[in-house]
Amino acid sequence: MNTSRTDVLVIGAGPAGLAAARAARARGASVTMLDSSDQLGGQFWRHLPPERPSANERMLHHGWVKFRELSETVLSDDGCRVIRGAQVWAIEPDSTSAGAAHLAVHVVVGEPDGTGRRRLVLTPDAIVLATGAHDRTLPFPGWDLPGVFTGGAAQALAKGERLAVGQRVVVSGAGPFLLPVAASLANTGSDVVGVYEANRVPALVRGWLPKPWELAGAAGKGTELAGYLAGHLRHRIPYRLGRAVVAAHGTDRVEAVTIAAVTPDWAPIPGTKQRIEVDAVCVSHGFTPRLELAIAAGCELTAERFVQVDDSQHTNVHGVFAAGEITGIGGVDLALAEGQIAGHAAAGGLAADTEVRSAVRRRRTFRGFARRIEAAHGIRDGWPAMLTDDTIVCRCEEVSYGTLCRATDATGSRSLRALKLSTRAGLGICQGRICGRTIEALLADRVGDAGLTDGVSTDRRPIAAPIRLGELADPAHPDPASQHPVPLKGPK
Amino acid sequence: MTSRILPFQNDPIKPTAPAPVTITVDGVPATGAMGQSLAGVILASGTLRFRRTSVHGAPRGVFCGIGVCYDCLVEVNGQRDVRACQRRARDGDAVVTQHDELPAAPAGDAA
């Protein structure tokens, strides 16, 4: 053990971050936990604000008791400092830092997108990255109309505000997440006209059936999904396979959608279109991990583009650990197990220690579950057949599919960077978070067999969140609680 | 019909009666429940369009709902480019929807 306590910084207060904070504290580390929101729980446990107490909020959540237990533990612990409204906007190497991780973490603290937020620089001994994921939504004609939401938006507004995004709603896309989205909508007063899962029975069977014994330990997961299905039956929500929303219609807002049958690789089948009047549509095709801080810290990624970790959830960067959806989309149980192991290891423990034996076992079980989800529900290659020439693919810069194709053909370029610069796709204010991987896929498809050749990706964002120039000009405050005071200076 | 907050009397989670919060959207008053985001209050007031885009002047509203897409940007009390889904509504907040037109082409530029 070190003579001084290890300073562990946990970024993200969702399931993985909460579990990491508690485990690091259990091993005696001093913990700071940051979250950009003013609440704990992340997106999974998004809940009502303190101004709106209710007797039975747990019925909206899976694992609510676990959340209450974790959050009460960290909030009542003087050795765990929780900073809410804390947006990390850069991480950079700092060889002069007193913290053993030799990284400087730049933070602004205050009202979201406010002016005059307080700047803070943290230099911890170890970092646990638990930044989570957001919806991946593929483009289709009309997806930029008001009234088209991601599944995550519908969830956040239902669970966090008791707001139903529409009265007559369809849910479409792929993956088990469609079920809780539909359940939340129905619980909040929407008429869910239907849930349309693009994959078909053979894909679902291939993904879910092999090696059923692996699922034995995932009984809790089965209960979670069974609960959503029971809700479907209760609310009589139709669940259709091999179908998708292929267009949204309206002038100033969504008024209707077109549903079509799709092939096993998700291309719409001619002659199967059906128009349905709706006032909202929720679309989600999976999740994209939030990797920018991991990349800024120097973490290597896997071939599937998640953060590469070892048995201790340690990345290739000394002192930097990762847990939850950024190491693979696996859901709450996997995030809790990984978070616990990461927090324990960040505080100097080992994956072989008895304190984390159960977490290591759960991690093995639920990783198997994550592989099944990908096999059953993963994005298939035929989806660009939904696009028309004028379908917007980059929402921020309003770049259409046709523009993207013509620029690629006209320039003959096979460089992602060059094509982004010539079309501006992926260069808007969301920094390619919504369209980045879509743009990569469409361009790779367009340039043909040789593929894109410059080896860059849209995941890199050195400035991890927009920051106002006035805030940037203000000097950073040293961290008053740190054992390692830092000199006042901006990023290099 | 459009987005709607579930009346607390009908909510199976048995909430207490929420305290109201009142903001204005382009000068028109909108009332929601204390603790709601600006996005939630604006949506529940019947407005889906939060801004118009620069290139096509197209309507945009809440899309991701979790602070990732920046499509719900509004001006709040004179402060521009605030993600309405990330900011909690406070009594008296004056929200103005945004439309940032592209700058005029410089003289002599054929484009």
Q: Which chain B residues have a beta carbon less than 8 Å from that of A429? A: 70, 73, 81
Element at B38 (helix H, strand E): helix B38-44
Could B83 and A396 be called an inter-chain contact, meaning their C-beta atoms sit closer than 8 Å?
A: no
Chain B CB contacts of A144 under 8 Å are: 58, 60, 63
pLDDT digits (tens, 9 = 90+) for B9-50: 999 999 999 999 999 999 999 999 999 999 999 999 999 999
* Selected residue of B43, B53, B83 to mutate for chain A interface (largest A Cβ count, 10 A): B43
Is A427:A181 a contact under the CB 8 Å cutoff? no
Winning range, highest mean pLDDT, from A172-176, A382-386, A457-461: A382-386
CA A107 from chain centre, in angstroms, equals: 20
pLDDT digits (tens, 9 = 90+) for A233-242: 667 788 899 9
Is the CB of B66 less than 8 angstroms away from the CB of A156?
Answer: yes
Confidence tier at A231 by pLDDT (50, 70, 90): low
Check B62 against A146: CB less than 8 A apart: yes
Which residue among B11, B56, B61 sits closest to A398, beta carbon to beta carbon? B56
pLDDT digits (tens, 9 = 90+) for A334-372: 999 999 999 999 999 999 999 999 999 999 988 887 887
Full domain range(s) for residue B33: 22-99
Question: Does B106 fall in a domain?
Answer: no
Spatial separation of the C-alpha atoms in residues B102 and A433, rounded to whole Å? 23
Between chains, do B6 and A162 touch, taking CB under 8 Å as contact? yes
Instruction: List beta partners, residue A477.
Output: A120
Mean pLDDT over A124-148 rounds to 97
* Residue found under tokens 């059923």: A212
- Residues of chain A with C-beta less than 8 angstroms from the C-beta of B82: 112-114
Q: Which residues of B touch A397 (CB under 8 A)?
A: 55
The pLDDT score that the predictor gives to residue A305 is 94
Specify the residue for token string 């696996």.
A330
A253 vs A206 pLDDT, higher one: A253
**Which residue out of A51, A255, A277 would a mutagenesis test of the B interface target, given it has the greatest number of B Cβ atoms within 10 Å?**
A51
pLDDT band at A454 (very low <50, low <70, confident <90, very high): confident
A471 band by pLDDT with thresholds 50, 70 and 90 = confident
Is the CATH code 3.50.50.60 the one for domain A7-133+288-351? yes
Token pair for A287: 């999740």
CB contacts of B50 in chain A (<8 Å) are 146
Q: pLDDT at residue A95 above 90?
A: no
Q: Whole-angstrom distance between the N-terminal and C-terminal Cα of chain B?
A: 42
Q: Can you give the pLDDT at residue A377?
A: 81
Mean pLDDT of chain A: 90
Tell me what the pLDDT averaged over chain B comes to.
93
Give the pLDDT mean for A62-76.
96
Q: How confident is the model at residue A210 (pLDDT cuts 50, 70, 90)?
A: low
B70: in domain: yes
Report chain A residues whose CB lies below 8 A from the CB of B19.
51
Rounded Cα distance between A269 and A67, Å, is: 44
pLDDT of residue A487: 43
Q: How far is B52 from chain A (nearest CA, A)?
A: 10
Tell me whether residues B54 and A398 touch, CB distance under 8 A.
yes
Averaged pLDDT, A140-159? 98
Question: Cα–Cα distance between A355 and A360 in angstroms, integer?
Answer: 10
Subunit contact B67:A56, Cβ cutoff 8 A: no
B76: three-class secondary structure by DSSP: strand
Fold match, A7-133+288-351 / A137-285 = yes
Residue A228 has pLDDT above 70, yes or no: no
Q: Is B10 in Cβ contact with A189 (below 8 Å)?
A: yes
Interchain CB contacts (distance < 8 Å): A and B: 181
CA distance B108 to chain A (A): 22
Distance from CA of B35 to the nearest CA of A (A): 6
Answer whether A163 sits within 8 Å of B4, measured CB to CB: yes
> Average pLDDT, stretch A69-97?
95
Q: Which CATH number is A137-285 given?
A: 3.50.50.60
pLDDT per position as a tens digit, A374-430 = 887 889 999 999 999 999 999 999 999 999 999 999 999 999 999 999 999 999 999
In angstroms, the separation between the Cα of residue A166 and the nearest Cα of chain B is 4
Q: Which residue of A has its CA nearest to B61?
A: A146
Cβ of B63 within 8 Å of Cβ of A53? The answer is no
Q: Cβ separation of A253 and B61 shorter than 8 Å?
A: yes
Asked if B33 lies within 8 A of A52 by C-beta distance, the reply is yes
H/E/C letters for each residue in A59-76?
A: HHCCCHHHHHHHHHHHHC
Nearest CA distance, A17 vs chain B (angstrom): 18
Q: If DSSP states are collapsed to H, E and C, what string results for chain A?
A: CCCCCCEEEEECCCHHHHHHHHHHHHCCCEEEEECCCCCCCCCCCCCCCCCCCECCHHHHCCCHHHHHHHHHHHHCCCCEEEECCEEEEEEEECCCCCCCCCEEEEEEECCCCCCCCEEEEECCCEEEECCCEEECCCCCCCCCCCCEEEHHHHHHHHHHHCEECCCEEEEEECCCCHHHHHHHHHHCCCEEEEEEECCCHHHHHHHHCCCHHHHHHHHHHHHHHHHHHHHHHHHCCCEEECEEEEEEECCCCCCEEEEEEECCCCCECCCCCEEEECCEEEEECCEEECCHHHHHHCCCECCCCCECCCCCCECCCCCEEECHHHHCCCCHHHHHHHHHHHHHHHCCCCCCCHHHHHHHHHHHHHHHHHHHHHHHHCCCCCHHHHCCCCCEEECCCCEEHHHHHHHHHHHCCCCHHHHHHHHCCCCCCCCCCCCHHHHHHHHHHHHCCCCCCCCCCCCCCCCCCCCCHHHHHCCCEECCCCCCCCCCCCCC
Q: Where are the domains of chain A?
A: 7-133+288-351, 137-285, 388-447
Mean predicted confidence (pLDDT) in B62-85: 97
Instruction: Give per-residue pLDDT as tens, A190-200.
Output: 999 999 999 88
CATH code, domain carrying B68: 3.10.20.740
8 A C-beta contact, residue A40 and residue A63: no
pLDDT over 90 at A34, yes or no: yes
Q: Give the span between the Cα atoms of A459 and A128, in whole angstroms.
A: 19
Give the mean model confidence (pLDDT) for residues A238-263.
96
Closest approach of B48 to chain A, Cα-based (Å)? 6
Would you call B4 and A280 a contact, using CB atoms and an 8 Å cutoff? no
Q: Do B48 and A53 touch (CB under 8 A)?
A: no
CB contact under 8 A, B37 and A161: yes
B63, part of any domain: yes
Across A174-190, average pLDDT: 91
Taking a C-beta distance cutoff of 8 angstroms, is the pair A67, A81 a contact?
no
Q: Which residues of B touch A398 (CB under 8 A)?
A: 53-56, 58
Decide: residue A28, CB within 10 A, 0-12 exposed, 13-18 middle, 19+ buried: middle
Q: Which residues contact B4 (CB under 8 A, 6 or more apart)?
A: A163, A164, A167, A189, B44
CA distance B18 to chain A (A): 6
Please answer yes or no on whether A147 and B36 come within 8 Å at the CB atom: no
Question: Taking CB atoms and an 8 Å limit, are B14 and A280 in contact across chains?
Answer: no
The minimal CB distance from B69 to the residues A48, A167, A430 is found for: A430
What is the reported pLDDT for B107? 75
